Every structure is written in C-alpha cells, then in structure tokens.
C-alpha cells in the first residue's frame, strides 16, 4: 500500500508538471484505391512515418519494426464533390520481415496487428480538380496494444488526411494519395489533472 | 542538375538504369511534414495583407537530401505569405484565399528542440524551426488555400528553389507542396493561438537528366569526334 501511495503521488506530480499538452499522432503516407461508384469499397495502404520526429500515442519501435496502416471495407454511400463513406475498418500492423511495397498490397497487412478498429462517418471533399481533404472517426476495438490505451482513450480518434489525385503523387494501380494522421482527442497519458483533495477522495 | 550529390558518373549510371527500365523522367525527392499554421488576424476571415506562417517538423525525407532523421531533427518553415483576399465558391461553400510572396526552408540540426508553444510567434517559434543547417530554401511563385466550414481544407504552392545544401544552384518551378489543413471542428489537436493543423508533402524535382536513348547515342556522347 505504501508503494502504491507513493506511485500515485509521483504520478500526480508528473501530471501537475506537464503544463502544455504534447502532440501525439500516427502520421501516415498512403495510397488509396477508390471505388468506381456507390456501394463499392475503398481500400487504403500506408506507412506510419512518425519515426523519431513526432510522438506516437503508443510506444512504437521504429528502429526495429516497420508500421503500416490499412483501411478496408470503406463503402462509398454518396458520390460527389463531397463523398460520404461508411463501414470501414482500420488496422495498424507491426512487422520486421517484409518491407511494405505498394506494388504488393499484402505487404502492408502482414505482421502483428497492434491496433484494429472502425472508421466511421468518413467524408472526402475534393476542393480542386486534384486536391481534397478527408475526415472520419476511429474507434479502436482490438489489437495487441489496445489495452495500453485506457478505455476512455480508445474511441473518437479523428482520422484526417490530405487527398491528391495528381498523377505525380499516385502509385501505379492506385487512384489517390492520402497523406494524413490518426490522433487521439487529447494527449494519451497514464495521468490526468486532479487536485489533491480529489485524489484523496478517490481512496476514501 | 538540381542535387549536388550527382556527379557526371552517376548521371551516366542513371542513364543506363533508365534505359534498362525503358522509362523516362526525373524522380521527385519528397519531404513529409506535420505542424501548425497561423495567420495574423486569423485565417477564417483572411484579409489582404494578412501574413500566413507554417511551422512544421519533418517526419520523412528522401535520402537525396542527405539528412538522417535518426541523427538529427529536420524542420520545415514557411513564412511571408501575404493574403490577397478570399473568395467563396457558391456551389461548394469553400473559401479560397490566394497569397503572394512567401518562402519555404528546411533546416536540420542535432538539437531535437522543436516546440510549437502557444500564441505564435513566441519564444520557440520560429526560433526552434529555423535553427540548424539550411538544407533547402525556396520562394513561392503561387500559393492558395481552400477551406470548408467543416474545418477541412487543403493548400498547394509552386516553388522556385533558391538555395540550401541540397541544391547545386537555383532552379525555377522545381518544387511543389500540398497539404491537408484541419481546423478545430475536425477534432484536430491545435495549440492555442494556431489556426490550422497541417500535414503535407514537399516534392523537389531531382532533375537528374534522365532520358531514353539507345546505346549508340550514349556512346556518341563520350566519343564526340567519331
């Protein structure tokens, strides 16, 4: 009990010390195959490219592994300047065996699924003939790292991406390049701001 | 020839490689960046004369730039974009703002010190995004941003290369950048005082002289008297 109390106090101090929120996100560079029309599904294959530059919401080892993101089953319900989608699943894989290559889509979905979830309410708006922007919401529901996220931190992650249809940006066999991110609503940490009286009240 | 690292020998090697692939055209060297943008007076109502700045950290960079992100931090900073005013597309509701001027620069240094802070410009912006060695610099020849009321948006700009260690010399219309922009309604995390979260790509033409030619033509280059 003494150790537990001390740990809580230290965590409390850490929370108080961390004044400004840090930036955490999964930054990805992806290629998408868009559906020919409504009722068909889009699929997206991308690399997580944070490296050591921007913190990820979960501890990823970019020195040892490659991380990829795959979206499947994203059904296009409405086609237009703004297209609406439903039903997508999103997965983040960790793999050290096979380098991801857009010529071989399966190279993005091998390895260990560290996070899996649903992508809902995705909409993509084309703002010029070749450029657009998309947004949806991810709820994480599975994967080997899911339990590293507190239940309150597992839902409602914005999925945000730039979209380019320019020929110079799109790989053979794909229809769009997506450069975007998945990020929590706020910094994911094991601590939260709480007064000492609130902390003590939690143990009475 | 845009990038310094290519010697005449490597051009020959590339030429041979291109001929063997049967393809033509220079490969673009790319930089992936994420960060935040702000405009004096706010971007929701961009007025002529307002200044747009964008402070980002580089998450991925082509080896052609000779920057190893395992050893250094690279940042990309855009400044001096002067708003020319906005128009609204009645069919989409999108607001388009065009800008004049503006520069873009990539820096790399051992200090992993980038810090957006709040309410830029501040003690760390631009200071921690413009330190280190200058890798690439350019001047915008055109820049426009399109924003939707939903918070989604995108910008793109064309660039003349002006300097930096990765360039052998100035180059006209040799770079291009585009990025998604995300305002608060999208759920993007945005520090206080910034208007937009930004996630984009800079492409610089490696401009190595690749073209398809037969062996006879290639040999003729090295035997001009025959």
Per-domain residue ranges for chain B?
Answer: 7-211
Chain A CA closest to residue B111: A53
Is the pLDDT at B97 greater than 70? The verdict is yes
A17 to chain B, any CB pair closer than 8 A? The answer is: no
Measured CA to CA, the distance from residue B88 to residue B146 in angstroms comes to 9
As separate numbers, helices (DSSP H) first and strands (DSSP E) second, chain B gives 2, 9
The band of A3, judged by pLDDT with boundaries at 50, 70 and 90, is very low
Measured CA to CA, the distance from residue A159 to residue A132 in angstroms comes to 14
Least confident range from A40-49, A127-136, A186-195: namely A186-195
| Cβ separation B34–A54 shorter than 8 A | yes
Chain B residues whose beta carbon lies within 8 Å of the beta carbon of residue A50: 59
Among candidate residues A125, A124, A179, the one with its CA nearest the CA of residue B89: A125
Model pLDDT for residues A29-74, shown as the tens digit of each residue = 999 999 999 999 999 999 999 998 999 999 999 999 999 999 999 9
- Is the predicted ipTM greater than 0.90, yes or no? no
Measured CA to CA, the distance from residue B200 to residue B179 in angstroms comes to 4
For A153: left if phi > 0, alpha if psi spans -120 to 50, otherwise beta; the answer is alpha
pTM of the model: 0.82
A22 to chain B, any CB pair closer than 8 A? The answer is: no
For A22: left if phi > 0, alpha if psi spans -120 to 50, otherwise beta; the answer is beta
More confident residue, A6 or B145: B145
């Amino acid at each position: 009990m003494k150790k537990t109390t001390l740990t809580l106090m230290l965590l409390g101090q850490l929370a108080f010390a961390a004044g400004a929120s840090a930036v955490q996100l999964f930054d990805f560079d992806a290629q998408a195959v868009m559906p020919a029309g409504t009722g068909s599904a889009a699929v997206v294959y991308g690399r997580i490219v944070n490296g050591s530059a921007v913190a990820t919401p979960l501890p990823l080892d970019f020195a040892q592994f490659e991380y990829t993101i795959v979206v499947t089953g994203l059904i296009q319900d409405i086609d237009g300047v703004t297209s609406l989608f439903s039903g997508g699943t999103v997965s983040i894989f960790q793999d050290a065996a096979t380098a991801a290559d857009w010529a071989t889509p399966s190279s993005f979905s091998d390895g260990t699924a560290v996070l899996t979830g649903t992508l809902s309410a995705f909409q993509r708006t084309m703002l010029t003939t070749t450029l657009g922007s998309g947004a949806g919401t991810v709820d994480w529901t599975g994967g080997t790292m899911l339990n590293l996220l507190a239940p309150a931190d597992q839902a409602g992650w914005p999925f945000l991406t730039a979209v380019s249809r320019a020929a110079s940006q799109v790989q053979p066999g794909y229809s769009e390049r997506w450069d975007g991110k998945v990020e929590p609503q706020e910094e994911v940490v094991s601590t939260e701001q709480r007064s000492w009286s609130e902390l003590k009240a939690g143990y009475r | 020839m845009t990038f310094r690292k290519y010697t005449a020998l490597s051009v020959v090697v590339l030429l041979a490689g291109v001929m063997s692939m049967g393809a033509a055209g220079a490969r673009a060297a790319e930089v992936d960046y994420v960060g935040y943008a702000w405009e004096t007076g706010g971007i929701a109502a961009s007025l002529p004369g307002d200044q747009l700045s964008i402070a980002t950290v580089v998450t991925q960079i082509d080896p052609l730039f000779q920057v190893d992100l395992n050893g250094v931090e690279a940042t990309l900073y855009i400044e001096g974009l002067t708003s020319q005013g906005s128009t609204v597309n009645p069919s989409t509701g999108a607001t388009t703002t065009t800008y004049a001027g503006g520069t873009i620069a990539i820096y790399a240094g051992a200090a992993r010190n980038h810090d957006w802070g709040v309410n830029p410009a501040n003690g760390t912006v631009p200071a921690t995004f413009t330190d280190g060695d200058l890798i690439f610099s350019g001047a915008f020849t055109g820049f426009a941003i399109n924003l939707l009321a939903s918070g989604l948006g995108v910008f793109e700009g064309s660039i003349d290369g002006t300097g930096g260690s990765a360039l052998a010399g100035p180059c006209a219309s040799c770079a291009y950048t585009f990025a998604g922009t995300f305002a608060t309604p999208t759920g993007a995390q945005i520090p206080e005082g910034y208007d937009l979260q930004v996630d984009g790509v800079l492409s610089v033409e490696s401009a190595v002289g690749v073209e398809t030619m037969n062996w006879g033509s290639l040999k003729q280059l090295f035997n001009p008297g025959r």
